[in-house]
Amino acid sequence: MNNLRTFGFALLGLGVVLAIGGTIFWMYHERQEAQRSLVVTVAPGTAAALAAGEEVDLFPQELILRLSEHDTLVVRNDDSEPLTIGPYRVAPGQRFVQRYMSPGTFELYCSLHGDEALRIVVVR
């Protein structure tokens, strides 16, 4: 009888641990799903068009990201030439992903803009 009672308590404890673990996993998954991504795709031929003096409008010189929405900036380089954002070089076929954790205004070098400036404003 004692063994059965011990087994019952162990089984109950395991159920509680699994329920708590499942709840934590579900909450984490829901939080990750709530994240928004601002995706900018650099199309093939963009570097050649810029080199030829053409005006290419990929994204504005100022981007606003919201902490409350868990916004993430993603720049996909589908071009055949590398690009630079801030101190980061993004090779062809690669992507730059940046998520900000605090509000502020960030001035970055961007090789895709004529004046080479990109402002990212992060708000709550």
The CATH number given to whatever domain includes residue 45 is 2.60.40.420
Pair (53, 107) in one structural domain: yes
pLDDT greater than 90 at residue 48: yes
Q: What's the structural domain count of the chain? A: 2
Is the same domain home to 70 and 22?
Answer: no
Averaged pLDDT for residues 104-122: 88
94-104 pLDDT tens trace: 999 999 999 99
- Which range marks the domain in which residue 24 is found? 1-34
**How confident is the model over 61-106, as pLDDT tens digits?**
899 999 999 999 999 999 999 999 999 999 999 999 999 999 999 9
* Cα–Cα distance for residue pair 57/96, rounded to 1 Å: 18
For the chain, the straight-line distance linking the first and the last C-alpha, in angstroms and rounded, comes to 59
Q: Read off the pTM.
A: 0.68
